[in-house]
């Protein structure tokens, strides 16, 4: 089966699942929510199929350009989301998280970037690349989920503060639950984002003969790490919770997105091949 059929099937499934989750958020219709979960599983299977076929076609891990990164990171978001849905029974979060997976996997189409496998640059011919991207997939997936929870928190906290009698205020999880879960997923992801930087430095030494060169990708990866370090430090040391913590989680994920999209597209550097 053609790889692109799996790819387009994953996009279609994530799009439909996003719409169904939004419908479930609005209506709390159980069959609608169950359908959203089922289609998300189908999307994850199709996403996996696209990655497996790319591996078979190229004979290497599918982590060498924006198309492959996007497909991998979307897989990470969907996998983390499904785990969290079954673990914490918070189906409404899908309305905030699945659209992120959709945007990531469809970004190649939206930005009109090439999807064909090309020759692997010498800098990418290292097993460190595989480990580097695998840990990034789990880190970014967890950060996307924490961002979705933080956005939900900001909405819910505003409704609670204004004593809203709306349907959403009644049906969304309590603000303190959303805050705590957002923190848990950031804490889960932090060791992975640390490994992203460590493995990237080792890979850089292998590829370019130095561990660190202040390349834009390296710099923004460090900025991302510092933002999430500040989040955890503020929470542990100063007891930051609630609105301030939620905004830090949102800002942190925007640094993730800029590190991924902005640097590859806007800032030339040693990682320019990734586009």
Name the residue range of residue 177's domain: 123-275
Task: Indicate whether 236 and 116 sit together in one domain.
Answer: no
Q: What is the mean pLDDT of residues 224-245?
A: 92
| Distance (Å, whole) CA 232 – CA 251 | 14
Crossing angle between the packed helical segments 216-238 and 242-257, to the nearest 10 degrees: 170
Task: Indicate whether 267 and 133 sit together in one domain.
Answer: yes
Task: Indicate whether 182 and 95 sit together in one domain.
Answer: no
Domain boundary among 69, 95, 120: 120
Task: Indicate whether 72 and 129 sit together in one domain.
Answer: no
Q: pLDDT digits over 161-209, tens only?
A: 888 888 888 888 889 999 999 999 999 999 999 999 998 888 778 777 7
Lookup: tokens for 99: 């659209």
Domain boundary among 69, 100, 120: 120
Task: Indicate whether 127 and 107 sit together in one domain.
Answer: no
3-class DSSP assignment, residue 174: coil
**Given a cut of 70, is residue 19 above it in pLDDT?**
yes
Task: Indicate whether 188 and 247 sit together in one domain.
Answer: yes
- Confidence bin at 121 (pLDDT 50/70/90): low
Task: Indicate whether 154 and 201 sit together in one domain.
Answer: yes
Q: Can you give the pLDDT at residue 4?
A: 86
- Which residues lie closer than 8 Å to 204 by C-beta, 6 or more apart? 210, 211, 212, 213, 218, 270
Q: What is the mean pLDDT of residues 40-63?
A: 88
Lookup: tokens for 121: 């640059």
Task: Indicate whether 103 and 136 sit together in one domain.
Answer: no
Q: pLDDT digits over 148-174, tens only?
A: 999 999 999 999 888 888 888 888 888
Give the torsion sign (CA, 241, 242, 243, 248). positive
CA atoms within 13 A on the CB side of 236: 9
Tokens 């979307």 locate to 74
Lookup: tokens for 115: 């999807």
Lookup: tokens for 61: 């891990």
Lookup: tokens for 200: 């990237």
Neighbour tally for 257: CB within 10 Å = 18
Q: According to DSSP H, which parts of the chain are helical?
A: 3-27, 30-58, 66-88, 94-110, 127-161, 167-171, 175-208, 216-238, 242-257, 263-266
Residues of the chain above pLDDT 90, percent: 52
Number of structural domains in the chain: 2
- Which residues lie closer than 8 Å to 140 by C-beta, 6 or more apart? 73, 76, 77, 189, 256, 260
Task: Indicate whether 10 and 69 sit together in one domain.
Answer: yes
Q: Can you give the pLDDT at residue 124?
A: 64
Domain boundary among 105, 120, 135: 120
């Amino acid at each position: 089966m053609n790889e692109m059929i799996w790819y387009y099937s994953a996009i279609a499934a994530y799009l439909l699942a996003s719409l169904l989750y939004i419908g479930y958020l609005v209506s709390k219709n159980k069959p609608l929510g169950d359908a959203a979960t089922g289609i998300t599983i189908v999307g994850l299977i199709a996403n996996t199929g696209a990655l497996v076929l790319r591996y078979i076609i190229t004979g290497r891990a599918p982590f060498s350009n924006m198309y492959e990164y996007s497909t991998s990171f979307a897989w990470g978001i969907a996998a983390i989301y499904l785990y969290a849905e079954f673990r914490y029974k918070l189906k409404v979060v899908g309305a905030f998280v699945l659209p992120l997976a959709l945007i990531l996997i469809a970004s190649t189409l939206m930005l009109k970037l090439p999807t064909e496998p090309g020759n692997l640059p010498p800098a990418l011919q290292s097993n460190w690349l595989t480990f580097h991207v695998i840990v990034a997939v789990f880190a970014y997936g967890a950060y996307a989920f924490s961002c979705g929870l933080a956005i939900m928190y900001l909405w819910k906290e505003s409704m609670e503060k204004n004593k809203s009698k709306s349907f959403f205020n009644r049906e969304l999880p309590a603000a303190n639950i959303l805050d705590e879960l957002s923190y848990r997923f950031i804490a889960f992801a932090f060791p992975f984002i640390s490994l992203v930087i460590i493995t990237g430095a080792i890979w850089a030494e292998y590829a370019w003969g130095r561990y660190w060169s202040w390349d834009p990708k390296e710099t923004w990866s460090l900025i991302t790490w510092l933002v999430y370090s500040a989040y955890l430090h503020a929470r542990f040391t100063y007891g930051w919770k609630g609105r301030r913590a939620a905004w830090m989680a949102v800002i942190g994920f925007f640094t993730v997105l800029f590190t991924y999209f902005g640097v590859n597209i806007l800032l030339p550097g040693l990682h320019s091949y990734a586009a």
